[in-house]
Structure 1
Amino acid sequence: MPTYNKLVRDKIPEIINNSGKQFDTHIADNSEALKLLEAKLDEEILEFHQDKNLEELADIMEVIFSLAKSLGFSEDELLNKGLSKKEERGGFDKNIVLEKVYE
């Protein structure tokens, strides 16, 4: 019987239950949830490095939204901050590599 002790998406218990399997879960408090979300982000980033697909990017985005929420920010606040940073400093569309800055 595998032991996971990791954060899963909200519908995973229902999916496991529908498959006829038994399982144990608990609801993490805010402190535990933040640590688990950080670990989940690392996991999803590793999966993206392996597969480089839209599904893995969506998983990363969902974890980031959950991290923002656990820190007291809404998805809209996070997206708006991203847009304001992009307006102020630009995005990463031009693939510019900074090599040196001469003083």
Structure 2
Amino acid sequence: MKVHNKLVRDKIPEIIEKDGKTCVTHILSGEKYIVALETKLNEEVAEYQADKNLEEMAGVLEVLQAICVARGYSLDELETMRAKKADERGGFKDKVFLEYVE
């Protein structure tokens, strides 16, 4: 038996069972779900930092979107806020690196 005690993608239990194994799960709600998502975000960011590939970027985005919805926002609201912030403060496409301010 391998203990995981972590949030997993929705189809993981099905995949495990198709592999002939048994797993025990339960459904999180409220603050426990948000805490698990935030832990998962750290895990996904670490995986991206290690591999730097598109699949890991997609994992980070998936968790960020789930956190957004779990906190009561819509993905449209998230995109609107992202665009507003980019409009007011810019994005990162110009690759500006601030060295110091006097």
* TM-score for both structures, normalised by structure 1: 0.94
RMSD across aligned C-alpha pairs, in angstroms? 0.9
Superposed, 1:76-95 pairs within 5 Å as 76-95=76-95
Aligned twin of 1:40: 40
Give, in whole Å, the separation in 2 of the partners of 1:55 and 1:31.
28
Residue 48 of structure 1: SS of its match in structure 2? helix
Aligned twin of 1:75: 75
User: 2:27 matched to 1:5?
Assistant: no
Give, in whole Å, the separation in 1 of the partners of 2:61 and 2:22.
30
One-letter identity of the residue aligned with 1:97: F
Give, in whole Å, the separation in 1 of the partners of 2:76 and 2:17.
33
Could you tell me which runs of 5 or more consecutive residues in structure 2 were left unpaired when the two chains were aligned: none
Give, in whole Å, the separation in 2 of the partners of 1:74 and 1:4.
30
* TM-score for both structures, normalised by structure 2: 0.95
Give, in whole Å, the separation in 2 of the partners of 1:27 and 1:18.
20
Give, in whole Å, the separation in 1 of the partners of 2:68 and 2:17.
29
Aligned twin of 1:97: 97
Cα deviations by residue, 1:10-58 (Å, 9 ceiling, x for unpaired): 1111111111110000001211111111110000011011100000000
Aligned twin of 1:21: 21
Give, in whole Å, the separation in 2 of the partners of 1:48 and 1:60.
8
What fraction of aligned residue pairs are identical, expressed as a percent?
47
Give, in whole Å, the separation in 2 of the partners of 1:100 and 1:51.
31
Deviation (angstroms), 1:79: 1.4
Aligned twin of 2:49: 49
